[in-house]
Amino acid sequence: MSIIDDKKFIWHPLTQHQVHPNNIVIKKAKGAILYDENNNEYIDAIASWYTCMYGHCNPYITSMVSKQMQNLDHVVFTGFTHEPATKLAKALIHILPNNQRKLFFSDNGSTSVDVAIKMALQFHYNQGDKRNKIIAFENGFHGDTFGAMSVSGLSVYNGPFKDFSLDVERIPVPNDSNIDEVKKQFIDLTSKGNVAAFVYEPLVQGAAAMKMHKAEHLNDLLKIAKDYSVITIADEVMTGFGKTGKNFASEFMTQLPEIICLSKSLTGGLVPMAITSCSEHVYNAFLGPNMEKGFFHGHTYSANPTSCTAALASIELLNTVEIQESIKRIKDSHKTFISRIDKHPKVKSTRQQGIIMAIDFNIETDRYGDLRFKLFDFYMSKGVYLRPLGNTVYILAPYIISEEQLSKTYNAIEESFELIE
């Protein structure tokens, strides 16, 4: 393959091409391994942004999809329906938190959040209730389309667009020392009656470098939201499908969200798709004798049959004893690794939720500072693909990663302590 043509024709995401013109050519991926054009192997320790949790080119998913695509490729999902969608819907509703009743299809995590925001705003509008504000956490990340970007709090992404945003109030993520203040701020905001929705990444803020918070604190906020009829939107695009140790992070709270956003590992990394699920309470507000109360949002590729098939196959895999045992195994391995490095002088702090593990190094640096690139190159030289952010390195590996591949990943991280000055 010609890297020349890449440089000539392609604009990569999240890339400053003037400083970083070179992209590594990946030729093949299998299980937990990526192969470059020279056949070098890299352990995909972040599961290609948390997508291919059952392993790359999983033979079960690819065979199901290959069968499906001989039979029905795509059809408009307005006025038509099909078995791949209904089978998936039934299987997904079965594992979702038990107040979730209806699924709305779109294409990626950002659109699933935009759909959720529009649902929440129209939910109130349909009842003649004017609500124009949304509450979100500081440093949350919900995607790159305008709605999703508006509720995200990471300035590197949003800077140039901040004058074009929805009306969003940002609150700090609660912890043991600020919880009373955050609750007070949350009540002050919601009691005014103009807050339509509260959008949050439950328990783990992915793009903020796997920052974690306690279920009990989030639960407190969800309770308040309920008191003031604020629609709660759990963005489980990253946390969904087993990564936190339960199928969905929302299961750690007693207060269930009205709306849940899903994408990333929904199709096991094979093809793009997203789902916004909601409660009966939300869905019913869109019913009426004429069209105008309906939800006028629809993407061309809604519920694409091949994507639905990949998602159904992925859920079947998630439910297997093998995958459930792997999740336990990885959790335990992370715990052991953390106790091994926790006291190292280069380690500032560690955290873990399910199979998600993060280490903060004892150094101040920018999100995209030089250290990040130095660490990245080091890990790649050790045959491990990790994407450090600022002073954080995290592991979110496919469930099928072997113990040997995990040890290699841990060792690479431990050796990288030498690079921290």
Site residues for ligand PLP per CB under 6 A: 108-110, 113, 141-143, 201, 206-207, 235, 237-238, 263-264
Residue 196 or 274 with smaller CB distance to ligand PLP? 274
Give the CA-trace dihedral at 152, 155, 158, 162, to 10 degrees: 100
As measured in angstroms, the least distance from the Cβ of 209 to ligand PLP is 12
Task: Give the residues across from 395 on adjacent strands.
Answer: 357
Residue 84 or 140 with smaller CB distance to ligand PLP? 140
Residue 220 or 235 with smaller CB distance to ligand PLP? 235
Residue 142 or 211 with smaller CB distance to ligand PLP? 142
Residue 131 or 264 with smaller CB distance to ligand PLP? 264
As measured in angstroms, the least distance from the Cβ of 345 to ligand PLP is 32
Q: Does residue 153 contact residue 140 with C-beta atoms inside 8 Å?
A: yes
Residue 48 or 194 with smaller CB distance to ligand PLP? 48
As measured in angstroms, the least distance from the Cβ of 83 to ligand PLP is 26
Residue 87 or 367 with smaller CB distance to ligand PLP? 367
* Beta strand 41-44 pairing with 33-36: antiparallel
User: Minimal CA–CA distance to 421: which of 350, 344, 348, 346?
Assistant: 346
How big is the chain by its Cα radius of gyration, in Å?
A: 22
Q: Does residue 234 contact residue 258 with C-beta atoms inside 8 Å?
A: no
As measured in angstroms, the least distance from the Cβ of 161 to ligand PLP is 16
Indicate the residue whose CB is closest to ligand PLP: 109
As measured in angstroms, the least distance from the Cβ of 186 to ligand PLP is 20
Residue 238 or 356 with smaller CB distance to ligand PLP? 238
As measured in angstroms, the least distance from the Cβ of 261 to ligand PLP is 7
As measured in angstroms, the least distance from the Cβ of 174 to ligand PLP is 18
Alpha-carbon gap, residue 102 to 275, rounded angstroms: 10
As measured in angstroms, the least distance from the Cβ of 378 to ligand PLP is 25
As measured in angstroms, the least distance from the Cβ of 205 to ligand PLP is 8
Residue 207 or 313 with smaller CB distance to ligand PLP? 207
